[in-house]
């Protein structure tokens, strides 16, 4: 059973998968919000100084969500690192807004990384070698 939404118990497959699911949704929300802000910038509404180049960022977070869904440790760690770098960049630009959301999403990405590593640790050795299959 999970302890809380912000710190999943990843000692079993169910908890590891739940932790990864939270990170996947966080990445999808980041991709979606970024895409929405870019679409608004095309309509002439400038928010947070984000322009068309942020579509690459949205695509990267969508790919990260896909990777986390496929239980990729690389995608989970990449999502965490990229999200933290972007939050630091936003804080340096004077955008301290969204601190609560930043903390929640950071925790979700940390959980996704914990879940991905735990999932692979828990499933290591459960796959049968090709020679043993009939």
Q: pLDDT 10s digit of each residue in the chain, 134 long?
A: 445 767 889 999 999 999 999 999 999 999 999 999 888 888 877 766 677 788 999 999 999 999 999 999 999 999 999 999 988 888 887 766 678 889 999 999 999 999 999 999 999 867 555 555 44
Residue with tokens 């020679």: 131
- What local confidence, expressed as pLDDT, does residue 48 receive? 67
CB under 8 Å to 98, separation ≥6 — which residues? 90
Do residues 112 and 68 lie in contact, with contact meaning Cβ atoms separated by under 8 Å? yes
CA distance 35 to 111: 24
What secondary structure letter does DSSP report for 7? S
3-state secondary structure of 117: helix
CA distance 8 to 60: 25
């Amino acid at each position: 059973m999970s302890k809380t939404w912000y710190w999943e118990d990843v000692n079993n497959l169910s908890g590891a998968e739940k932790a990864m699911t939270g990170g996947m949704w966080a990445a999808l929300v980041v991709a979606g919000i970024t895409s929405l802000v870019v679409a608004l910038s095309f309509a002439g509404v400038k928010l947070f100084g984000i322009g068309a180049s942020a579509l690459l960022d949205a695509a990267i977070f969508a790919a990260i969500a896909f990777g986390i869904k496929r239980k990729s440790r690389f995608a989970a760690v990449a999502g965490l690192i990229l999200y933290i770098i972007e939050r630091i960049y936003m804080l340096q630009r004077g955008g301290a807004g969204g601190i609560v959301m930043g903390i929640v999403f950071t925790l979700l990405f940390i959980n996704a990384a914990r879940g991905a590593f735990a999932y692979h640790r828990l499933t290591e050795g459960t796959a049968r070698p090709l020679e043993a299959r009939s």
